[in-house]
Structure 1
Amino acid sequence: MDPLLSTHFTPTDKSVWMLQVQKELKDPLAVETLRWNTPEGFVAEPYYTAEDLQTGPFVLSPEAGQSVQKHTPGWLNAPTYPLSSDAQADNRMLRDALTRGADGLVVTLSDRPEPGDAAIQQLSRLLNGIKLSDTPVFFYPEADALSVVEALKTVAPYQLKGGLLNDSGTDVAETTRLTADSPLFRTVCVSSHEFHNAGATATQELAFMLAKLADLYDSLTDAGLSIDQLIPKTILSVSVGTSYFMEIAKLRALRVLVDQFAGHYPVSGAYPLFIHAQTSAFYDAATTPYTNLLRATTEAMAAVIGGCDVLTVRPYDAVLGQQATPANREFSDRVARNISVLLKEESYFDKVADPAAGSYYIETLTHQLTQNAWTLFLDVEQQGGFANALASGFITAAIDSSYRTKVEAVKQGRVLVGVTKFRHDEPSAQSPVTPGPANGPLPDRRLAEEFE
């Protein structure tokens, strides 16, 4: 401390500040009333200091938690595009996006892939003028990922960038071997979207995602792949919700958890985790859909501060599905793409790696999420792993309980902007949908559904 300051300002600890709060509010219970219980299962304090990081029951030190965070600033702006039956029109749309701020692309392929030469011709038309060694393209093949990769290898016979975002677990060993010469094309994917969209807490998302990754790694190592082959080819795809600080901590905790998890394998090197973040469908509102812009911006900002490598911002009218007019879709695609651009060009978030490091609040949340998620992950493993815990109903029951708690909070007064407050019903929003791939055995929900 500066000698001049030390003569006028004596050091104070957290307890002194808490006493001052009670004095200012004239309430001896003021601190207690400012605490709140998070859905993740721990208590959030109204005020954090360095003491919380020094005295908390943390498994890792803040420095250890920071060491596994992303060290390179920036992210790929990768908007998502569901494709039509017109490959040439889709190609124009994708190339236009790349000239208007997109760094990469996320495309959803048909669930009925063309066979053999037809698939090659279709992909050739779709990717005409897009070089996958320069532009990362992430594919969501709704079926037969192996056929897609085989066609890609013919269309683009060089090192690919991007990857596969389907986490069905089928053909993963084959696609991983087939793209071994393209280390930046990731084929081992696990996502949290099915948990998030069913209503899971951040703790549940992290724990169940890690359990699913453990099951997948077990099957792939049994298929003859080594852990050193798998980790660099892994992409974790995460939904980011509206709880701003918690979502920042969730992405940071994910890196800590996967590092802790990978430590139980005979890994020969250090491989940075690759995270794809997508703004939430669960919190979208079909009534007053323009309010989704507010949510998407907050979620995108949390994602980049949390350290995502790829960011997909969903268009504000994606919740309307085919009801959105072509003109509106063009506008909403442009706005979604530009949210990421603005975070770079006007907010300069791409200039600093791990900007949340050192925040007493976020560091504490990161450690609390890490500990709670790891404990729940071990519970799942004791039940025989993710598949067994899902089949037994354990995972579904836990998420259902969390969802009902979220709904009840809205019934008790929690505001959903554009739904329970500041609402303006749009004529086109009579039958909203949640677009995207199916979530398997877990229900695909939106929090606003019961109030629209």
Structure 2
Amino acid sequence: MEFPSVTKAAWLAQVRKDLKGQPLEDLNFSVAGTVQSPFWHPEDLPNPPAPVYPGRGWKVGEKITITDPATANAQALAALRGGANYLYFCHAGPLAPADRTRVLEEVLTDIIDLRFHDTTQQAFRVYTRADVAEALLALAEQPQDAAFWLRPSEDFLETIATLRAVRLCANLIYASLELDPSLELGVVISPAELDVHTAKIRNPVLALAAVCGGADVLLIEPADGPEGSPFERRIARNIHHLLSEEARLAAVADPAAGSYYLEALTDAIATAIWADFQATLAR
């Protein structure tokens, strides 16, 4: 059964009638420094925007700090057996070839993604909405095989729109350089100062926002802290599987498309990010 289409004007007439004289603008609200209306209609987007990212799923990441190569290897193998396919190793100082070999013992490096990061050379930098223009500047200077990490905000819809907006801005940079987009956009979810049980409730919501926003890689740190017990590491990995295998979000081209509000919020945040980027360039 198909319902008859209703124009935006007809909807607004009904809304004003229901509000009994109260201006619709009184219901506006602010998100990420932008003013948003509670009412959106397909006419607000006469030309459907291009998908922000192709529906190819995301990489199940796990961060492992190397203090003892044997322990790091055990954590890596447990992560891979649990469904991870992206390992991010952090180490303080140069990693000896023998230690690297021990860390990767029995790891099938040809079918997963690996990253090694020396924390003494550069901190594991995770950007927020406030400083994402700095990340875009680094992207413009070195666009090939670029990757950077974002931390989600506590606002579910703002996180979705921010990730989409960052992708759009990055694509503009690639287009200006006449290059195909190749940015790897990662999201890191940390337990912050929350207790374990609160983090377990919070983490799936932020992970859902990251997936709907188009993250290429998702790192969910254990609820009991960055190092985490084996049990909490498994619980964090299972969030990926719930979103991918149960919710089937990995099979959807753009989970956030079609709400009109999110498209409008994405555009507003992208405009603000691009202005910040231009201002950073001008300095």
**Is the structural similarity TM-score above 0.5?**
yes
The answer to whether the 8 A contact 2:146-2:182 is kept is no
> Where in structure 2 are there 5+ consecutive unaligned residues?
none
Structure 1 residues 359, 205: closer, same or farther in 2, change over 3 A? farther
Cross-structure match for 2:120: 143
CA distances 1:151-190 after superposition (whole Å, capped 9, x unpaired): xxxxxxxxxxxxxxx678xxxxxxxxxxxxxxxxxxxxxx
Cross-structure match for 1:277: 187
Separation of aligned partners in 1, 2:27 and 2:196: 33
Alignment of 1:214-293 (within 5 A): 214=140, 216-217=141-142, 230-231=143-144, 233-265=145-177, 267=178, 269-280=179-190, 284-286=192-194, 288-293=195-200
Establish whether residue 36 from structure 1 lines up as the match of residue 29 from structure 2. yes
The answer to whether the 8 A contact 1:83-1:109 is kept is yes
Separation of aligned partners in 2, 1:277 and 1:374: 20
Q: Which TM-score applies when normalising by structure 2?
A: 0.89
Shift of 1:25: 4.3
The answer to whether the 8 A contact 2:171-2:181 is kept is no
Which of residues 43, 46, 52 is equivalent to 1:51? 43
CA distances 1:200-241 after superposition (whole Å, capped 9, x unpaired): xx3x34323212333x43xxxxxxxxxxxx42x111222222
Shift of 1:27: 4.9
Between 1 and 2, higher relative CO (CA 8 Å, sep ≥ 6) is seen in 2
The answer to whether the 8 A contact 2:139-2:146 is kept is no
Which of residues 73, 77, 85 is equivalent to 1:103? 85
Structure 1 residues 280, 35: closer, same or farther in 2, change over 3 A? farther
Which of residues 248, 251, 256 is equivalent to 1:351? 251
The answer to whether the 8 A contact 1:241-1:279 is kept is no
SS across alignment from 2:229: helix
Which of residues 116, 132, 136 is equivalent to 1:210? 136
Shift of 1:136: 1.0
Structure 1 residues 136, 28: closer, same or farther in 2, change over 3 A? same
SS across alignment from 2:40: coil
Structure 1 residues 273, 358: closer, same or farther in 2, change over 3 A? farther
The answer to whether the 8 A contact 2:189-2:203 is kept is yes
Separation of aligned partners in 2, 1:131 and 1:167: 27
Separation of aligned partners in 2, 1:90 and 1:258: 34
**Larger displacement relative to structure 2 (86-95 or 119-128):** 86-95
Structure 1 residues 108, 167: closer, same or farther in 2, change over 3 A? closer
Shift of 1:137: 1.6
Separation of aligned partners in 2, 1:89 and 1:26: 66
Establish whether residue 133 from structure 1 lines up as the match of residue 133 from structure 2. no
Alignment of 1:435-450 (within 5 A): none
SS across alignment from 1:315: coil
Which of residues 201, 207, 210 is equivalent to 1:294? 201
Structure 1's consecutive aligned runs of 4 or more residues displaced over 6 angstroms after TM superposition are none
Shift of 1:18: 3.4
State the structure with more CA Rg. Answer: 1
Which of residues 3, 14, 21 is equivalent to 2:8? 14
* Equivalent residues, number: 283
Structure 1 residues 12, 72: closer, same or farther in 2, change over 3 A? closer
SS across alignment from 2:136: helix
Cross-structure match for 2:74: 92
Q: Which TM-score applies when normalising by structure 1?
A: 0.58
The answer to whether the 8 A contact 2:199-2:223 is kept is yes
Structure 1 residues 317, 27: closer, same or farther in 2, change over 3 A? farther
The answer to whether the 8 A contact 1:70-1:354 is kept is yes
Q: What residue identity is the alignment partner of 1:33?
A: D
More strand as a share of residues = 2
The answer to whether the 8 A contact 2:149-2:185 is kept is yes
